[in-house]
Structure 1
Amino acid sequence: MEQLEDFKNAELLNALKAGDSAAFNEIYHQYRKKIYGYAYHFSRDGEEAEELTQDVFVRLWENRSKIDPKKNFEAFIYTLIRNNFLSTLRKKAREKVYSEENLKYEQSFNTIEEELNAKETKQIVHKAIESLSPQVKKIYLLSRNGHHTHEEISQLMGISKNTVNNHLKKSLGILRKYFSTYSPETILSLLLIMLC
């Protein structure tokens, strides 16, 4: 009975070696649980063991020409798992070192980049505000920088609340148009500045 099983496995492995996908599917169904068990033994993590298992089958298909049906197939599989696991560990170690080294560089770069973007945005906002007519500009600055209410601006300038409201709407429309023309990529920053 054991000889018949060995003959059947050798036939299956020869078919796999020749690129037979049905043979590959049969081997997948026969060995999947065992390979998962080996992978879990190495990783001690179900998700990682599942990844390793899938990876082993991909590598098995890619390396099918190296299969020797006369040799112990399980030893071949075990070697694939071990090598794959060690490769994964090395990759994770390199990624950890890389990410730790680059995290500090990225943080300082992001801070500098944010400062430059904020400075550039403020310059564009300043130019946009300078493009407003004197009265509209004064009302905008009293509202946004001076934090005055429409009522207070109305009293300060001796104009109706409705006029203040219209001038503010006009200023925001002009600023939006200015930004979309001169700096469309920073329109979000403008909106944030205008809302603040």
Structure 2
Amino acid sequence: MNNVDHNDEKSLLLLLREGNHTAFEILYNRHSPQLLFKLDGKLPEAAQADDIVQELFVKLWERREQIDPEKPFAGYLYRIAQRMLIDHYRRIARNTLLYKEIHGVGEITNFTEEAFAAKETQQLLDDALKGLTPRQREVFQLCKIQGRSYKEAAAILEISPETVHVHLVKATQAVKSHLFTHQKYISGALAVALILSERLLNS
């Protein structure tokens, strides 16, 4: 790196493409503060913004050979951050819908912060899935979380669709029991997730 101008971003990107760790560190230190600043205002917790930025740069390193040094790097990073933020809220939205489907709850508000409620919902579902057998968990994730049909799940797991149905019934009952026991309710987290996603696309 001694023969490279640290202010010459194109040179740094070329070195990054070759797997140079020093170039990676320079680019991380240069761009991560601005990314954190932009993401921090779109998330309820600063730690979530930091997690996204860390994951973004891990992805960047893994896909470094795809970087085009001729294009603005800051814009490239922010586009990735946008997609990751949208994915983050889409996961919240999916889990919110799943919670409502299983628990059969209406618009009951126990939390004033919807994003916090969504986080609680995520944690409850994670805890509930840990209590399932490995096969029940596989079936539940395929059918309920990924939205696959019995036939698709059966092909992936190499079991019959009827067996998928049996496991799914047991898994759903167990998850519902866990959620009922803890008596946690959510309200408009899905709406908040979609609104924030739209804001991000227009920002």
Q: TM-score, normalized by length of structure 1? A: 0.48
Higher helix content, 1 or 2: 1
Q: TM-score, normalized by length of structure 2? A: 0.47
Question: Which of the pair has the greater relative contact order for Cα pairs under 8 Å at 6+ separation?
Answer: 2
